Structure 1
Amino acid sequence: MPATIPNTLVAFGANEDSFFLGHGRRRTFRGVTDEFAAQVQGDDLPITQTEWISFDPTGTKYIAKNDDRKQFCHSTDISQDLIGHLKTNGGSFITLGSGDNYFIKHNKGWNARLPPKHSENIAQLKPVVNNFDSALRGLLFGHEQSHIFLFVGGFASDLNEETQNDAEHPLTKVLTEFDEGWCIEPGSTLCPYSDRYFFLKFKKPNDTVIQMRWSLPNSMSEDLAELKQLAESPEDQIFLTQLRMVDMQRQQTQAALAMQQLRMQSQLNDMMCASMVQGGNSMKLATGGWVEVPRY
């Protein structure tokens, strides 16, 4: 289940008339493929179970994950190399770049096919980021060469020169605002056709509060505002309240299971210690039984 309730999902397509938006239990989209539309309109990718959706810059290739089912939904034409990693290692966060470029974070680390600029930045970051492979959580592909690396303790961005040098640019301003002590969360996305548009989720390590910042084309902004307004309706609020209760019960169950595992481990450790002590005494007794002590 996504980290926030209500959950907000944003995915940019090839232009301002191609996108997906979701909030609460509702969604809207334009200019997407029939294949993708069928999956988001069916039971495969409900907003309440989907943490992220990634389009490639053409808006035709896509991949998303149903968190509750641990199931991936994707277009039939995504990289077979990426499919191979999915089958072998699963995946927690995946983004698609131009052509066959991609990034996948999985339970054994990460794999990627990247443009030269992105690979050069990885080579520069590896020596200065502790445990780089485990610390790297994701990569956001943006407009042209713009991209952001997501780490467990922060983020590193490399934007197009014009954007980087403009202190008043909306993306530059937001990244500066959250530069110290914040991480960018999966579910964030950059726009492939303009640096001016983005949707970013920021969170401090070991915290649960998520701050969202976005800059969207007018049509997307209006549609998102409408979705947010609909989420305030009585029927949607009842649904979201029930969803929060389910999520709370899930967290309590997970906490109880973790405590049970800790108790079992503690009991096992106690049994092992007791066995070692008894074993030590037995050895002493056996030795004592066979040693002849001279009497004087």
Structure 2
Amino acid sequence: MPHDGRLKVVFGPAPDSYFVTYGKRYAWNNAPESLVQTFQANSELDPMNVAWISIHPSNEYWAVKTVLGDNLYVAPRTPDTLLAHLRPTSDAHSLTEDKAQALSFTADGRGFFVRRAQRGYVLELGGAPYALDVAELRASIPDFDARVRDVLFGRDGTWICVYRDAGFTANLDGPAQDPEHPLHKVCKELTEEAECRVLEGSVLSPHDDRHFVLRVQIGDKIVTRWNLPDAMLAVVNELVERTNDPAEQALIEQSVMTSANNAMMVAQIQADIQAQGMRTVQDMFRPYTTRYEYRWERR
């Protein structure tokens, strides 16, 4: 099992569909053709530079967010109603572009969650069967609107709210309520960690409540807790085996060093721009930083 957090998994519209990245490699089955073509055509979409991928259950549209550059790629067929929530604002006085920081879809595709850099979040359940009461969460979670960063939607009404600085709230519904259920056991396990933060790239399967990937930071180490179907597990194992090749490891180390140097350069540009008082989007480069604190509760 990979423990360094490089694994990224997105479940597709059918139980046998997926897009998986690990190290500098990626694999897919029955994924949107336009998504695969976008990865193949853009060197920026090195798997090491991918923060998250989201695919609509219809398989017709998707989005990918990068780490360095904080860039957002979207499918050509993305509906205008959704695109309006993903686009940055045209405010020339903004310090940061208001593009989506998180995007997730309900298992049936009728609803979605989008977190924007500046305009807060949009939660549209569209009649999907999730007992997600925002008013109740606002009453129990201080500063909920400002702190919620993502909502992971699973099967049978299960969802996990991930917060910017307060971990997550898990609603384990249906079979996941069983203490012996894989997802339930992992959530319970994470509550026993003194310092545990849920990271980008975490996802629940819309097809089987037993399948999920939770990327977490425990202390100063990033680890992955997951349970995957056999076909996907075989693909992951193959990617891990190839990535462990010494030549591949050398490429990864070089990529990490380049990314670190680029991040330092971007941070310096940001400091210089702020010192000079420039405030236009064109003048501003924002480094990728995310911070979480852990919280879990069974509702």
Q: TM-score range by the shorter chain?
A: 0.7 to 0.9
Give 1 or 2: higher helix fraction.
1
Amino acid aligned to 1:163: A
1:73-104 C-alpha deviation (Å, 9 max, x unpaired)? 22334342221122233111111223342111
Q: TM-score of the superposition, structure 1-length normalised?
A: 0.78
CA 6–200 in structure 1, closer or farther in 2 if over 3 Å, else same: closer
1:292 corresponding residue in structure 2: none
Change in CA separation of 1:242 and 1:141 when aligned onto 2, cut-off 3 Å: same
Count of aligned pairs between the two proteins: 259
Residue 211 in 1 paired to residue 223 in 2?
A: yes
Write out aligned runs for 1:229-248 (5 A).
229-248=241-260
Q: Identify if the C-alpha distance between structure 1 residues 112 and 80 changes in structure 2 by more than 3 Å, giving closer, same or farther.
A: farther
Aligned pair 1:185/2:185, yes or no?
Answer: no
Deviates more, 1:34-43 or 1:251-260: 251-260
1:48 aligns with 2:64: no
1:160 is aligned to 173
The structure with more radius of gyration: 1
Aligned in 2, Cα 1:81/1:169: closer, same or farther, shift over 3 Å?
Answer: same
Q: 1:84 to 1:96 in 2, by over 3 A?
A: same
Deviation at 1:159, TM superposition (A): 2.3
Residue identity opposite 2:240 in structure 1: K
Moved more, 66-75 or 153-162: 66-75
**Quick one: distance in 1 between partners of 2:141 and 2:267?**
32
Return 5+ residue gaps in structure 1 as ranges: 266-296
Unaligned runs of 5+ in 2: 90-97, 278-299
Q: Percent identity, aligned pairs only?
A: 25
Residue 179 of structure 2 aligns with an amino acid whose one-letter code is A
Q: Which residue of 1 aligns with 2:100?
A: 91
Partner deviation per Cα, 1:167-205 (whole Å, 9 max, x = no partner)? 11101100111135533211111100011100111125x
1:198 aligns with 2:212: yes
Q: Give the conservation status (yes or no) of the 8 Å contact 1:79–1:100.
A: no
Residue matched to 1:101: 111
Contact between 1:188 and 1:201, CA under 8 Å: does it hold in 2? Answer: yes
| Aligned-pair CA distance for 1:131 | 1.2
Per mean C-alpha deviation after superposition, the further-off stretch among 90-99 and 170-179 is 90-99
Larger CA deviation: 132-141 vs 90-99? 90-99
Q: Distance in 2 between matches of 1:21 and 1:84?
A: 28
Question: Which amino acid in structure 2 is aligned with residue 28 of structure 1?
Answer: A
Q: How far apart, in 1, do the equivalents of 2:274 and 2:41 lie?
A: 40
Q: 1:286 — aligned with what? A: none
User: Scaled by the length of structure 2, what TM-score is found?
Assistant: 0.77
Distance in 2 between residues matched to 1:122 and 1:68, nearest whole Å: 32
Contact 1:202-1:211 within 8 A present in 2 as well: yes
Q: Which residue of the partner structure matches residue 17 of structure 1?
A: 16
Q: Counterpart in 1 of 2:283?
A: none
Among 135, 144, 150, the residue aligned to 1:132 = 144
Conserved? CA contact 1:147–1:159, under 8 Å: yes
Deviates more, 1:227-236 or 1:212-221: 227-236
Deviation, structure 1 residue 254: 5.3
C-alpha spacing 1:28/1:107, structure 2 compared with 1 (3 Å): same
Partners of 1:96 and 1:162 in 2: CA distance? 21
Secondary structure of residue in 2 paired with 1:211: strand
Contact 1:32–1:60 under 8 Å retained in 2: no
The one-letter amino acid of 1:201's match is R
